[in-house]
Amino acid sequence: MTTVLIIEDEAALASAIAILVRRLGHEALTAASATLGLQKLQQQRPSLVVLDIGLPDLNGLQALARIRVIDAAIPVLIVTAHGNLQNAVEARKGGAAGYLVKPLDLAELERTIRSLLQAAEALPMALPAQLPPSDEGAAAPLLIGSCAAMQPAFSAIAHACASDAPVLITGPTGIGKSLTARVIHLHSARHQGPFVTLSCASLPEGLLEAELFGHEKGAFSGAHELRIGHLDRAAGGTLFLDEIGEIPLAAQVKLLRFVEEKTFVRVGGREDQRVDLRILAATNRDLLQAVAEKRFREDLLYRLRVLEVQLPPLAQRRSDIPGLAAYLLAGMARGREVRLSQEAADALQQHAWPGNVRELRNVLERAVAQCRGSLILGADLPPELQTRPAAAGPGAFPALDAALQTWLDDRLRHPGDYAALVEELESRVLGLLLPRYDHKPTHLARALNIHRATLRKRLRERDGPEPTGEA
């Protein structure tokens, strides 16, 4: 009977996976730690290992490396509650055959286990794809984020890193398709080769062909010497064709020949040129619609889309915005420590972001330029992000109404007047607002459109002397 080893410290999940494995007709072994899992692995060779990253003794990626030493042919399915690009890529580098993010979809888990076991049965001694260490350096670009919407993209990127097949990167403008292409190159077997980019939308048809394929001396007016194109320049590495949907049909024919045969002819030339490289392409257009409208060749689309990475718009990954903003601000502040106030962070997460990450970058650059201290306020953001909601009517905040009723009932038990009630209420509001503005009255006054002297007076009445050290 085929055996599946489940190394998972969460007892309920381990039990659920074991039940699924047995329902598929296989034997299930469970281990609550990497140490126990490795011991069972040495005692009985399983056909598949399901391995959690967050184990109590060893990181799952460290455990993966030890499994590869014990038996490099066993397929390993990585599961993790902390899905991000780095984990996905490192799992593929370590030889993982699959990668899933918690909470697990049981139907997807079943499909994945079936697929991996069938592959292991068909090729019992096949080694998982291994990637060489990439020469990326400390400042290599990484896609920031861990939200659920990004997990399919991270998994697809990890698979693309482990392959040499063409990849089509799709998604709206400004979402990071160029960055994704560079990440794939840096983590691929071609990472030591050049990474060459050609924007297909920025050049007229005649010049695009010359830039892509190069031209011979005398090929056209002004061609005074031989010039190599982007294909030659990318030899041994990766050619990234940005906005591939804009390439003219004539150039598509020549590009298709190169993708299929690895040969091309320079503009004005007669001899075939051969070059070894990998093609990554990106588009924000619906290429299937372009095929239907005869604007894009169907055969070229399928040759370029051997693997596909679909990047979701920023509006679908709002939980990633604080991390993205912090990462971008760290590169913009130029020695200053600048961060978002709670008001500004809330405004960023409520915005629709039609321009995606590119728009977020522009908004933050403006905010850093506008900001007069270390804290970015709502007033430092563009006007379209400062839209205030209409005043809420009675009953809009039932919890607040109930709390005010309790507070008033207590205060009205004792003699007092309206001015005292308002003064105490204002004191409580100021006490809650100040931490949102880094305890700096100047920032709070600007955000609330109140004169600084008036606010300072009210704070002195509330707290005594004004805090020192304000920026």
Tell whether 305 and 167 lie within a shared domain: yes
Average pLDDT over residues 313-325: 88
CB neighbours (10 Å) of residue 206?
A: 14
Residue 392: pLDDT band (50, 70, 90) is: low
Tell whether 172 and 292 lie within a shared domain: yes
Domain count, the chain: 4
204 domain-assigned: yes
134 domain-assigned: no
Rg (CA), the chain: 29
Write the CATH number for 332: 1.10.8.60
- On the question of pLDDT at 291 being above 80, the answer is yes
459 domain-assigned: yes
Find out whether 280 and 139 touch, Cβ atoms under 8 Å: no
Residue 469: pLDDT band (50, 70, 90) is: very low
Tell whether 182 and 305 lie within a shared domain: yes
Tell whether 220 and 87 lie within a shared domain: no
Q: What is the pLDDT of residue 471?
A: 42
Write the CATH number for 49: 3.40.50.2300
Find out whether 75 and 50 touch, Cβ atoms under 8 Å: no
141 domain-assigned: no
Average pLDDT over residues 312-340: 85
Tell whether 87 and 209 lie within a shared domain: no
CB neighbours (10 Å) of residue 265?
A: 16
CA torsion sign for 114, 66, 189, 170 is positive
**What is the enclosing helix (H) or strand (E) of 166?**
none
Tell whether 178 and 290 lie within a shared domain: yes
324 domain-assigned: yes
Write the CATH number for 180: 3.40.50.300
pTM above 0.85, yes or no: no
Tell whether 194 and 285 lie within a shared domain: yes
**What is the enclosing helix (H) or strand (E) of 51?**
strand 48-52
Phi, psi values for residue 469, rounded to 5°:
85, 15
Tell whether 325 and 281 lie within a shared domain: no
Q: What is the pLDDT of residue 126?
A: 35
Q: Is 353 helix (H, G, I), strand (E, B) or coil?
A: coil
DSSP track, 189-241: TTTTS-EEEEETTSS-HHHHHHHHH-B-TTSSTT--S-B--HHHHTTTSEEEE
How far from 453 is each of 59, 101, 270, 432, CA to CA, in Å?
A: 55, 53, 80, 20
- On the question of pLDDT at 214 being above 50, the answer is yes
Domain assignment of residue 438, given as a range = 399-463
Q: What is the pLDDT of residue 122?
A: 54
Tell whether 419 and 320 lie within a shared domain: no
Q: Quote the tokens at residue 78.
A: 């990585």
135 domain-assigned: no
Last residue of a domain, one of 295, 310, 325: 310
Percentage of the chain exceeding pLDDT 90:
42
Tell whether 248 and 263 lie within a shared domain: yes
**What is the enclosing helix (H) or strand (E) of 25?**
none
- Residue 110's nearest CA partner among 233, 26, 221, 194 is 26
128 domain-assigned: no
- On the question of pLDDT at 361 being above 60, the answer is yes
pLDDT digits (tens, 9 = 90+) for 19-60: 999 999 999 999 999 999 999 998 889 999 999 999 999 888
- On the question of pLDDT at 73 being above 90, the answer is no
Tell whether 415 and 367 lie within a shared domain: no
Lowest mean pLDDT segment, chosen from 163-172, 212-221, 312-321, 388-397 = 388-397
What average pLDDT is seen over the chain? 84
Tell whether 201 and 218 lie within a shared domain: yes
On the question of a cis peptide bond just before residue 435, with omega within 30 degrees of 0, the verdict is: no
394 domain-assigned: no
Phi, psi values for residue 332, rounded to 5°:
-100, -25
